[in-house]
Amino acid sequence: MATALELTRAGLVWERGPTGLIESVSGTAEQVELVQAEVARRAPIMARPPVLDVERTGACDACGEAMEAHRAGWCELDELARKVALKKRGVAL
């Protein structure tokens, strides 16, 4: 298991599209496999995203994992998991 912050610090790049949403990732094969596994694990949870009682910066609002100090909202892994969950429900993004 890996957090988005750990993957970022290990060199994984989260590639965002024009809307600001993550479109893809660039990294080693092992990093990409970790992202795929984490997104698959989180997708059922993110179908109905939890709202945790966490600080609004520096921690993910869904999973509570650490993020960069200036960040708020969902971590990259939960963002991708939500995208997958919505796609499975037939919601176009």
The secondary structure element, H or E, covering residue 81 is helix 76-88
Averaged pLDDT for residues 9-22: 95
- Residue-level pLDDT at 54: 63
pLDDT tens digits, residue range 22-71? 999 999 999 999 999 999 999 999 999 987 776 677 889 899 899 998 88
* Prediction pTM value: 0.85
**Which tokens in the block code for residue 81?**
């998991």
Report the distance separating Cα 53 and Cα 72, nearest Å: 13
**Which tokens in the block code for residue 27?**
């990294």
